[in-house]
Amino acid sequence: MPTGIVEFSYQWYGASLVNNTSMLFRIGHSGATQTSGYYAAQAEIGDNTDSVTRSPRTSEIAVQTDSWEANPGVSSGRIDFTQAEGNTWTWKMQNYYYATSSGHYVNMLNTGYITLGGTVERAVLFSGSGNFDAGNVYLTYKQLL
């Protein structure tokens, strides 16, 4: 990331993975990425039924989950980070996940914050295992010069 970033967003669509896995998101500083400390409000995950799962997210942010579906699917969404104060960043994520083999979908709405030991230098979107099969990702940011 360039220096002086105060806001940034990742937006993705049509993202799919080779294996049944998750896309994950981390931010970091000094050449490393944080794997914990993404404190979150409740995350709601549903599949167009009455079933809703709520869980806190204190580790790296999963922006796609296949745990409820036997086949990999396609994900579209956005995650926004804003510098709140000092090295504390707030984040919010909305992710639409569509299964390939059924009409099931997930609409995930997550919010939380992470406190870093320094300024943001790295922002990484990656696969939990396997490779990305297809999709598009866009990064936008606001910078103070």
pTM above 0.85, yes or no: no
Averaged over 37-44, what is the pLDDT? 70
35-70 CB burial, b ≥16 within 10 A, e <16: eeebebeebebebeeeeeeeeebeebbbbbbbeebe
Averaged over 64-90, what is the pLDDT? 76
> How far is residue 94 CA from its own chain's centroid?
8
